Structure 1
Amino acid sequence: MTRLSPTRRLQAAAVAAAAIAAGTLVAAAPAAQAARPGAHCTTPKLAAGWYGDNQARLQQLIDRYGSCNPYRPGREKPVAVFDWDNTVVKNDVGDATMFWLLRNGKIRQPAGGDWTTTSRYLTPAAAQALATACGPLARPGAPLPTGTPAGAPCADELNAVYGTAATRTGAAAFAGWDHRTIEPAYAWLPQLTQGWTASEVRGFAAAARTENLAAPVGTKQQVGTTTATGWVRYYDQQRDLVKGLQKAGFDVWISSASPQPVVEVWAQGVGVKADHVIGIRNTTRNGKLTAHLQGCGSVKDGADTMITYIDGKRCWINKAVFGVRGPAAEKVQPASRRQVFAAGDSDTDISFLRDATALRLVVNRNKNELMCRAYDNSDGKWIVNPMFIEPKKQKTSPYPCSTTGYTDHDGTAGPVRRGDTSVIPDQTDSVFQN
């Protein structure tokens, strides 16, 4: 303990007395106050395994915004938001669930055998292809036997529409959507869970989770007559980061374009509870999920035009985390009502990443708009890390930031622009592992 000289003690006492007289210092704080929670807390330290100085930058975030620095009774917790698929885990838990549903025959024949009731964006060509492959297999409302040899063509058609946004013959499966608020193929998975309860879907997701975590890295599984990825892993570094942020007093959320019940199951593995998960949310009828989706901002329930995707993620975070209602939820909020930290891996995450006020972590999967903004790093708040498992090699050509890196609402490509509308020049991929 540092000791003051008698002279310094007298000087300090005089300064304190003057401050008390001026009303700027409270005299003789009670012993109970001195022992308040957080007064002598220990800031969590992150484990190793990060690229470059990323661990140090993340630790600085925790040190600056954590509950130990400084302790302020009653203050709002700083918010951190993570994307899920390929950000916190390797591979896609929505895909893992879809493949499980197909292998186990859990997708229902739509009402009247009309597949357009499953998505407002489904094209006539896709609806006809699905009706041809699946129509004879089950009555309306009954599960399709997609895990049997007889149901394999139906499984293949469903998997093609979901995975490639096209039929097996190559016809476009979806049309007419806003490319900044929804991805119809992503939305189609929760829509295909119609007729089940949320609890039942959580059970399906839990079964898929058990299989995919037990399967060796690189496993392929049979789905219909084709093969698909059959494994998922949590990233140790991200699990440690989530745990560290929580211990430091951050309010940690997950925002994902996978179905709500599915992400709820997986998020438990990093200590995030269901009430802090924002996935694609179905509407319900009589306790069962429908093929319609909950809305956000100016979008009403059942309109099926906005999910947790690009600008839709911003809206849903503003609504679920910060309590913003109505059209205002679609707008960028004041800094005091935004997350201080965000993490993502794809162009689907760009809006909520840009909203983060202190630090933005990007897992490099070579996505054009995201990497253009991250490498441009115009405000110094972006950090890039290679994928923690099977990282991608360096992209050989520059990112086309100045020409086609941005996808507009109608799907047209254009240059990526900064907040001041200036165009970001093409960027070289510089964070990778050989």
Structure 2
Amino acid sequence: MPVAPRLLRPSAVRLSATALALAAALTTMAQPARAHDRHGTDRPCPRLTVSDGWYGNNQARIQQLIDRYGDCAPHRHGDRTKPVAVFDWDNTVIKNDIGDATMYWLLRNSRIREPEHGDWRTTSRYLTPAAARALRTACPAGTGRDRTLPTATDTGCADEILSVYGEAATTSGDAAFSGYDRRTMEPSYAWLAQLTHGWTAAQVRSFAAAARTENLAAPLGATQKVGSTTDATGYVRYYDQQRDLIRTLRRAGFDVWIVSASPQPVVDVWAKGVDVAPGHVIGIRSTTERGRYTSHLSSCGAARPGDDSQITYIDGKRCWINQEIFGVRGAAASKVQPPSKRAVFAAGDSDTDVSMLRDATGLRLALNRNKTELMCRSYDDADGKWLVNPMFIGAKGRKDAAYPCATRGYIASDGTAGPVRRDDGSVIPDQRDTVYAG
């Protein structure tokens, strides 16, 4: 698989005092760290093997974290508590979005069922009346035993669904969703999971597997036709660097999890490609009825079943991690936990991942996709634990304008924009883009 070349721009590197000190310390890492196994013999800590694509000393700092926290570390000899590492999925472990890939496949193969009683409002509590009307007008009644919509041939219906999903607006420009918390819910992401209503988990996994096969076989840069859209992204690739990192972390005794805002059965299928089993995947989870998915979502924290209020999105990721990985229940799951109940390492690429990354106690890897809040926090690097890396495939060039951290880099629960603040309440100043392709 083609891999982007090493991306090094010495003139663009900005190191904090903490990072400079660490860089000096890294000169002691010429020999692999070693520890005694249970038989008393020395064994080396597992090493990262894929070097291309890592920026500056990012790979070396991650290796140091592995040497410090892995079960090969001398101070961890006999310690049964596994350090936790959490990874976002889309554009973090892979290039492109498996939610999009699945939606495109569903539309191209007419696998979306008509809504209950023909009422599109049953598919999402946040769907606006304008969106429900547009969908009802564009999409006829389902056909066949499964009452599926003919989106493979009916471009009008496919286009309306695709617009609501991808643009959060109707084809006429009306807002598609309203009334949700911007820190715990992204209704267009959730809508994909909700549109799998009526199918079993096994059936949805089969749809995801078919989309996976197509997207991995397609050449880099491939597009596909969905409805009347001719340039929908048509390929996905695993990042060799992240496969190597996940494999090395697991060999070092880390408890590795995937936490994604794509539907659970879809991520289950793709995560097997990095040897992460479904039991270590947290995606958007739907409720079931008589073995089939409903249009309602599983709950987290203080939310009640059927509230459909908290998915694996920004602060919602914190809740699901605390609940499913660390066993924190109720309202406490939405709170920052003590260090012993937090991940040591986290990786993400978007504002979706901000809370998950902030909670990590060791290192936080941010892949630069020019997402404002994430890059504000990453470049500010208030505690010296943030790493910024260009994307490993199709990395973005430098963002010309500074990130507006001091004025509108943070989106509140009600959708209003404001300054990005550090843990102590101080405002992060605007940040320039310094880690990029070129």
Unpaired runs of at least 5, structure 2: 1-35
SS at match of 2:337: coil
Q: Which amino acid aligns with 1:285?
A: E
- Alignment of structure 1 residues 49-198 onto 2, 5 Å: 49=52, 50-70=54-74, 71-138=76-143, 142-148=147-153, 151-198=154-201
| Alpha-carbon separation, structure 1, partners of 2:286 and 2:148 | 19
| 1:37/1:244 CA distance change after superposition, 3 Å | farther
Q: Which residue of 1 aligns with 2:6?
A: none
SS at match of 1:172: coil
CA positional deviation for 1:72: 2.6
| 1:81/1:38 CA distance change after superposition, 3 Å | farther
Q: Which of 390, 393, 410 is the equivalent residue of 2:397?
A: 393
CA positional deviation for 1:139: 8.1
SS at match of 1:289: strand
CA positional deviation for 1:37: 6.0
CA positional deviation for 1:73: 2.2
| 1:296/1:420 CA distance change after superposition, 3 Å | same
CA positional deviation for 1:40: 2.7
CA positional deviation for 1:302: 1.3
Q: Which of 215, 228, 233 is the equivalent residue of 1:229?
A: 233
CA positional deviation for 1:138: 3.9
| Alpha-carbon separation, structure 1, partners of 2:266 and 2:173 | 29
Q: TM-score, normalised by structure 1?
A: 0.90
Q: Which residue of 2 aligns with 1:288?
A: 292
Residue 47 of structure 2 is aligned to residue 45 of structure 1: yes
Residue 38 of structure 2 is aligned to residue 36 of structure 1: yes
SS at match of 2:406: coil
Backbone CA RMSD of aligned residues: 1.3
SS at match of 1:180: coil
| 1:162/1:278 CA distance change after superposition, 3 Å | same
CA positional deviation for 1:318: 0.3
8 Å Cα contact 1:113/1:140 also seen in 2:
no
- Alignment of structure 1 residues 312-327 onto 2, 5 Å: 312-327=316-331
Q: TM-score, normalised by structure 2?
A: 0.89
Q: Which of 399, 405, 410 is the equivalent residue of 1:406?
A: 410
* 1:156-193 Cα shifts (integer Å, max 9, x gaps): 10000000000001000000100000000000000000
- Alignment of structure 1 residues 1-12 onto 2, 5 Å: none
SS at match of 1:41: strand
8 Å Cα contact 1:369/1:401 also seen in 2:
yes
Choose between structure 1 and 2 for higher RCO, CA contacts under 8 A separated by at least 6 residues: 2
CA positional deviation for 1:135: 2.9
* 1:16-55 Cα shifts (integer Å, max 9, x gaps): xxxxxxxxxxxxxxxxxx8616853321111212111001
Structure showing greater Rg: 1
CA positional deviation for 1:111: 1.1
| Alpha-carbon separation, structure 1, partners of 2:285 and 2:58 | 33
| 1:87/1:37 CA distance change after superposition, 3 Å | farther
Q: Which residue of 2 aligns with 1:11?
A: none
8 Å Cα contact 2:113/2:142 also seen in 1:
no
Q: Which residue of 1 aligns with 2:219?
A: 216
Q: Percent sequence identity over matched residues?
A: 67
SS at match of 2:44: coil
SS at match of 2:328: coil
| Alpha-carbon separation, structure 1, partners of 2:189 and 2:243 | 25
8 Å Cα contact 2:141/2:147 also seen in 1:
no
SS at match of 1:315: helix
| 1:90/1:57 CA distance change after superposition, 3 Å | same
Unpaired runs of at least 5, structure 1: 1-33
SS at match of 1:135: coil
8 Å Cα contact 1:118/1:188 also seen in 2:
yes
Q: Which residue of 2 aligns with 1:340?
A: 344
